[in-house]
Structure 1
């Protein structure tokens, strides 16, 4: 897929100001400035081993102070375009999740997860009422009764964008703690819609908002989910199979499905991001899911970087009171997760380490908080200073989250030891992160499957059948897959030209990688390029390639091939032996 063309077309359609060349508010220029600034800071902070997320938010903060007046209306268009990052992020998460594992937690944990939102909102709301009755005002809480629900919601909801991205990078989405975290974020989305509808009805900004609209939105979301599941199973699966030999067209079809799902959910009143998650889940079981994932990942990373930069640009000028209030509100978020959410999970017998880890994963404010601020300001429920408190608390908690998730299990164990909790016996699926079944792993990989590979597999079945369980084939031709499986081999759909496809296939664990296809028959790559790709992922793997000329042998071995099998060179002896036998003696 030509990513630059895709991005350029989005820019042209997303912002009318981009066509006004003499206005100086060019949205393309705004994106260029944002990406350059984020890249520079990311490189600098990487030198001191800081997460890229911190660099993106810091870049946005600097740009907000220095260049936002110059960007003008383009900065608003930038915010709209960057929201694609959230949609693509949730779509990728849907592709990676195993829904059966996510939903297999049990009724008690499900109740604890679903009630996390209202419990936390109720606790923080009651805390503010009590403090107001005692005539005590803390900088991190509301000063007016109308604003108490806004601060309570801000403290209850967590960041989907940051958490799922970090857990995905850590391959921790399918552990017990990861599944609890993901399900909690999904439940929070329902409560977020409920809170926004309530606040809007109180302020009068949406005349139709109320309990009925909330029920209709949820019912609409359920209906859209059922329709999408049916369409994906009976129609989309056939389309994806039809375009399987054209990976770029397949990826574009998957993106169209993603945006269709997000638009449908947005129409019901639920978040477009949740629609993208459902779209990913509905096609996650298709054999093409891994290839779609590899194609979309880079696009997601681009828009997510843009999203965090624009998030940093929304920060108002700081003040001492706002920073102090943000620190107190962030501390309150941590306390509610460990004093309310973790104990309920422990009561649901999820284990101490799992419960504390899930609580730590969710210890930040949500981007949704920023949507509440304009409504609260317009209704007079909160002041501009209080809006700054919530904004800076969001940014502070997001900066802390990468460190919290990186060391979540170690921190949970130390915390359990500190408060003298006995570590519960591990459940069958264990607390520690487990490898996702869709992140394949094998010792021997066959890249592509053609005549030589078929002959090799037949010889292995005859001479070394013990190798078959240790092997896996990566091939984009679905017509070969049934035949490959009939030999007792695992097979994954994917384009071997794409490094992300190889990474998703678990090639980092490979001991031997074999390409039996000569350059003549490879499309879009060569044995030499495959050597470079495999070397970047599995530097210690032995690579066996195929050549048709003696000169190619030297080139491939110089790049790091363990052996290069030259068909014409090695078959000439067989031809000569046959000729000798054919001649009369």
Structure 2
């Protein structure tokens, strides 16, 4: 296929006169096929698809002519749909659990990181404007990469997972003022502060207009169109809203990209969000692939070779500076130990929004194509290295904790300081220890409470602990995988321990601590996947419950009952299902 693509490309650009008016179709074919190859290579290498798109765009840009105006227009549509969908995927409701930490922590991180990067880039000899734009771009992290890594490890609901997602949402929202700032920065002559004030006033006016469109007019139109039961009309309406908002915002002097992102944000928490997202997703994926291939195509390959050492140094500095800044933010808001180390290390890469910022700055004439290429090269390199860095974050935390054992000053940052803040629960015996007061833990506690069974909750979430305290429940605030915290729950005198935390690595460490303290205590744990259940059984957990499998059992039971099967027959079938699901394989560590 690659050979066919090269031959086809050669025929187009050497026999241009034969193709005539089909030039645009040929170009689209090449770029779509390139997108497919780049995406396929990225999947094989377990990278994000857009990394493959950019790399193959760079490869094609080295031998194809750069003056393909038509594909730039299609790529601009891709950028608009990309930012529209990124705005749609924002969920402000996710910030509620850690609102204070997410908002203030996110703002502190962005400001500190930007200032430090600005100073570093000035020391490297870059101009003030270039240093400022690169610094802002480097301060952002990748929502797509981080969420993928967290979901693969089952850590989205963990403490560090919630922190990371919260800060990423704040960073995504920060793109709006950043875009306004870039537009004001591009204004030549006059008073820059006056220009910024004028752009900000226009921005507030635009936000008001888009809110009016997105919250009042669009829902009405969607309900009307939905009555025709036509997906085509709903798709057209969604695209018109995205492109129309982008056009409206552009009339006020802002970029199309800013308008599209704002349109998505406005309806991100509305009921219409899901319908719009579902209809535009396929079209978005097609044009976004074109956008990233075109982005790579427009880069200057010689920058990668000529500045390879500089790119490497900048990537290493970005990892180091962002790690330290995020660590400082964690410590400031009372997050220490594993949550602080893993969340700080997981957000060290440069995000996909940086590509938009650098390309927009280039279009506005703020930076040259060579400098835009340098910024994108640094961002791309950090994204490729990010999964490797995150993979060893847990190992780094364990080594740092081990290294700090004889250094009291460092040890307090490696372990939970909450171990000294919990009130003495008195002598406990025959109680149940519930680790995690989330969706699963709450139901377990509710059942125990209704039966009058004494129990203690261990959790790291302040809101969950506050909620439990208000109900008069015994609680211990801290990381359950910290041996000192779990000792405070008096595991040795308990009847059993229920592990309802989703963090797989924390589960395993907690089980080891429990078995060291009291080898005979019964342990019950949850696991989402079969391989996780195998690992837990290997660690001698008495009972492993898989929520998805239990849901399947419940559905099967209901279906068989609806088909008129007798209770003994249903029980027999369920018993067979459970027997066939029993896992006895050895785990692959």
Q: Per-residue deviation at 1:286?
A: 4.7
Does the C-alpha gap of structure 1 residues 283 and 94 become closer, same or farther in structure 2, counting only changes over 3 Å? same
- Please tell me whether the aligned partners of residues 353 and 416 of structure 1 are also in contact (alpha carbons under 8 angstroms): yes
Residue 110 of structure 2 contacts residue 139 of structure 2 at CA under 8 Å; is this kept in 1? Answer: yes
Q: SS of the residue aligned with 1:364? A: coil
Alignment of 1:95-494 (within 5 A): 95-102=88-95, 105-107=98-100, 109-128=102-121, 131=123, 141-142=124-125, 147-158=130-141, 175-191=162-178, 193-194=180-181, 197-198=184-185, 200=186, 206-207=188-189, 210-244=192-226, 245-318=229-302, 320-349=305-334, 356-357=342-343, 360-361=346-347, 363-364=349-350, 366-367=354-355, 368-372=357-361, 375=365, 389-401=374-386, 403=387, 408=390, 411-420=392-401, 421-422=414-415, 426-427=460-461
Query: Does the C-alpha gap of structure 1 residues 508 and 121 become closer, same or farther in structure 2, counting only changes over 3 Å?
Result: same
Distance 1:66 1:127, change over 3 A: closer
1:281: Cα distance to partner?
Answer: 3.9
Distance of 1:412 and 1:195 partners within structure 2:
35
Please give the residue correspondences for 1:66-81 in structure 2 after superposition, counting only pairs within 5 Å.
Answer: 66-67=63-64, 69=65, 72-74=66-68, 76-81=69-74
- Aligned partner of 2:62 among 54, 61, 65: 65
TM-score, length of structure 2 as denominator length: 0.57
Q: Return the offset for 1:266.
A: 3.5
Residue-by-residue CA offset, 1:536-576 (whole Å, 9 max, x unaligned): xxxx99999xxxxxxxxxxxxxxxxxxxxxxxxxxxxxxxx
Aligned partners of 1:153 and 1:195 also within 8 Å: no
Which digits, 9 at most, give the CA deviation of each residue in 1:226-245, with x for residues without a partner? 33333433332222112213
Alignment partners' CA distance in 1, 2:119 and 2:323: 18
| Inter-CA distance 416–47: structure 2 relative to 1 (3 Å threshold) | closer
CA drift at 1:255: 2.2
Q: Quickly say closer, same or farther: Cα 1:360–1:121, change in 2 above 3 A.
A: same
Looking at structure 2, the residues matched to 510 and 28 of structure 1 have their Cα atoms a distance apart, in angstroms, of 49
Deviation sequence 1:432-480 (CA, Å, 0-9, x none): 999xxxxxxxxxxxxxxxxxxxxxxxxxxxxxxxxxxxxxxxxxxxxxx
- Does the CA-based 8 Å contact 1:513-1:541 persist in structure 2? yes
Unaligned runs of at least 5 residues, structure 1 = 1-18, 132-140, 435-506, 515-539, 545-585
Give the CA deviation at 1:114: 2.1
Q: Hey, what's the Cα distance between the residues in 2 that align with 1:251 and 1:276? A: 16
Alpha-carbon deviation of 1:64?
0.4
Q: Determine which of 35, 38, 42 is the counterpart of 2:35.
A: 38
User: How many Å separate the matches in 1 of 2:195 and 2:18?
Assistant: 43
Cα gap change, 1:110/1:361 in structure 2, threshold over 3 Å: closer, same or farther?
same
Could you state the TM-score of these two structures normalised by the residue count of structure 1?
Answer: 0.57
Structure 2, unaligned runs of 5 or more: 1-15, 402-413, 418-458, 465-478, 480-500, 504-547, 561-589
Pairwise CA RMSD of aligned residues? 4.3
